[in-house]
Chains A and B, each alone.
Chain A
Amino acid sequence: MVGQLLLPARTSTDLVVLGDEAVALGAIHAGVSVAYGYPGTPATEIIEYLLRYAELVGGSHVSWSANEKTAFEQALGASMAGRRALVTMKHVGLNVAADPFMNSALVSIDGGLVLAVADDPGMHSSQNEQDSRFYADFARVVCLEPANQTEAYEMTREAFDISERFHIPVMVRLATRLAHSRSAVRTGEMRDPNQETVEPDPSKWVLLPTYARRQWRSLQQAQAAIKAYTEKSDHNTLYLSETSRELGVITTGIARNYYLDNKNDLDIEPSHLHIGAYPVPMEKIRALMGHVRSLLVLEEGYPFVERQVRGVGQTIVAVSGKETGAIRPDGELTPDVVRNALGLPSSSGMRAPALSLPMRPPRLCQGCPHADAYSAIRSVLDQYENHLVTSDIGCYTLGILPPYSVGQSCVCMGASIGMAKGAVDTGKENVIAVIGDSTFLHSGTTALMDCVNENTNMTVVILDNEVVAMTGTQPTVLPSSRLRDLVLGIGVAEEHCVVVEAHPKNLKEMASTLRQEVDHLGLSVVISVRECIEAARKRKKQ
């Protein structure tokens, strides 16, 4: 998002990039042919970098998709055609893409297929802290977890090779503090895209039970080789201390950074196993546990490794981590969280002045079209004693805050429409679902079909600002002008599909239209249109 594109040369060079951009560079140098994704913090900048690269240099097909599932399926198709494919998303996006992801582990991957997924521990811009490593384990595939920009670059390159070697998709797992931090990367030589085009073998790509059983068995049989690979991998490094047999520390991904910055303040030299490649290297863990009396597990996300090393009834080595309360189970790791877990006190720092500082939460921009839509919705809601408004994922979630206070739920992409219908089905009246244009295209259309089917008595308000605003004004998959046709095509009655312009001068008209549609006993869709103010600003700058 920030800064100009630093073009990777064909030969090795130093570049300062975001963790996300390092992944993009790794994919370019690995010879990627296609890349797909859906915008989502903190993963967005991977595709943004690749898009700028494709625009300047060409050579690969890069595009935003309607959602993470369609993105994954397109990458899978490219892999079937023998080409290397990258697909990117944020952690919750993998829930949407879980179906193709889980099943892609059973086909025999041809062109390397790499999934770069960015987790958001600390929920900087997300609704949960789910840990994607569980998905890799669930699918029984390899996961690489970089600790810095250089590893993000190298592991992405390597992920393509592993994918082609084991014929499985490979996950590269990032966390916010790597995705959105900058540092120098030394890049390697660029290699050309995979030229081979193969005729897919149906017995390896058609998951009919007969074939699927054989594919599943072969994935099980591959586990031994996969484990042997991670056991020997340079990304899993074991250091056994010669001076102390007291403490062992396991770090994964960026937790190593916080450990290394604090290690020199310890009186003893702990033994240390760093894990950057999964499945976990059990032999190395055994060697570590045989060497120490206590073990501290430092990992970003859930206690994924901690659970695997903690045997039931384990008494010889005391394991501590998130499950024991040595580290708080929620929120992200920080240098201080790790410091305290190592038994070191934090610096007290400068004393804050005795002035109470009010919070400054994010808010809708000055002149945002959503603000006008919310003002209109608010004035209509005030006319009813009972009402319910479900909201959705995007900038407009901020309308839940005063002065608008519109929206009583925000759960996952597209949930506003389905949840509104469920509430109506139990007898709720004056129900409004508020959803952004891109969120509607991502996951709202199928729920709207359910509403059309039963002519559910509710009003869907599509806030159409013509872009994916929250993640940096990416284009939506369909232009604004086609939104009404889509809604009509799904079967919403023409007289109850109304387009209004979101503008302060239109508030009265917007409110009366809304009031009319809320009073209509059946399904209505109101599309409130005006370009995102930030997108307009950017457009004028160009």
Chain B
Amino acid sequence: MKYDIIVSGVGGQGVLSIAAIIAASALRQGLRVKQSEEHGMAQRGGAVIAHLRLADEPVFSSLIPRGRADMVLSLEPLESLRYVPQLHPEGMLLTASEPTVNIPDYPDLGDVLNAVQSLPHSHLVDAHELARAAGSARAVNMVMVGAASTFVPVGAEAIEAHILERYASKSEKVLRSNLKAFRAGRDAIGRHATV
């Protein structure tokens, strides 16, 4: 078994933390993990990407070959589209629907969202709204981890256990809102999937 995820977004959104949460949860479950990140100049408000490879057999490259990714998991819709050619033909694209418009030539948002929905397997997640409802506007990445959890070969229990550990030193409120955000993301996809 092998599951390859491209995590994308804009610098500062928390692309690396999404990758780190899924990776740590996968390890908890005994999977092998390779994760490639971008540091330095790329993090200053530009397009950011992380490669995350989960497997129960040896994986050597930290980069995912073109056309082989199982999932694009994005914090921003335009950024999700950038990596469509990385997906295999049956691959899944999950993205937060709220755009980050920090460039002058950002396309019409309707066109971007239509392009996402035109893909064979895609989900738009209103992650910002769900995060606010969960009590922390900053938990957008946790909503997206929840959304991804429906598909990735890592159990929700392993992820929740990691979240408990990750926020153990923070306030009860921060921990609760993150757990809530994770579950909200998971439920959002669950609803879609059953419709």
Contacts and interface: CB of A to CB of B under 8 A. Distances in A.
Interface residues of A, number: 55
B39 A356 contact: no
Contacts of B32: 183-184
Contacts of B195: none
A165 interface: no
Contacts of B103: 358-360
A244 to B, nearest CB: 21
Contacts of A181: 34-37, 51, 62
B33 A362 contact: no
B106 interface: yes
B61 A261 contact: yes
A350 B88 contact: yes
Contacts of A471: 40
B24 interface: yes
Given A16-B33, A260-B60, A125 B79 contact: no
A362 B68 CA distance: 27
A42 B43 CA distance: 13
Interface stretch (A23-31, A331-339, A487-495): A331-339
Contact of A335 (B16, B39, B65): B65
A237 to B, nearest CB: 14
Given A352-B85, A362-B44, A125 B61 contact: no
A214 interface: no
Contacts of A355: 81, 107, 111-112, 115
Nearest to A347: B67
B66 interface: yes
Interface string B31-57: 011111111111111110001000000
B7 interface: no
Contact of A45 (B34, B39, B111): B39
B82 A183 contact: no
A365 B44 contact: yes
A349 B33 contact: no
Nearest to B12: A365
Interface string A275-288: 00000000000000
B81 A357 contact: yes
A125 B41 contact: yes
A1 B40 CA distance: 10
A353 interface: yes
Nearest to A349: B67
A381 interface: no
Given A261-B60, A360-B79, A361-B46, A41 B41 contact: yes
A218 interface: no
B44 A184 contact: no
Interface SS of chain A: loop
A339 B41 CA distance: 29
Interface string B59-97: 111111111100000000011011011111101000000
A353 B119 contact: yes
A362 B84 CA distance: 21
Contact of B81 (A336, A352, A361, A366): A352
A256 B60 CA distance: 8
Interface string B105-123: 1110001100110111000
B189 to A, nearest CB: 20
Nearest to A90: B40
A170 interface: no
A353 B37 contact: no
A398 B41 CA distance: 9
A257 interface: yes
Given A257-B60, A347-B66, A182 B34 contact: yes
B105 A358 contact: yes
B61 A349 contact: no
A125 B82 contact: no
Given A257-B60, A360-B102, A363-B102, A470 B65 contact: no
18 contacts: A1-B39, A42-B39, A125-B40, A148-B60, A180-B37, A181-B34, A182-B37, A184-B32, A334-B65, A348-B67, A352-B85, A353-B115, A355-B107, A361-B46, A362-B11, A362-B42, A363-B45, A470-B41
Interface of B: 10-12, 16-17, 20, 23-24, 27, 32-47, 51, 59-68, 78-79, 81-82, 84-89, 91, 102-103, 105-107, 111-112, 115-116, 118-120
4 closest cross-chain pairs (CB), A and B: A347-B67, A349-B67, A41-B40, A125-B40
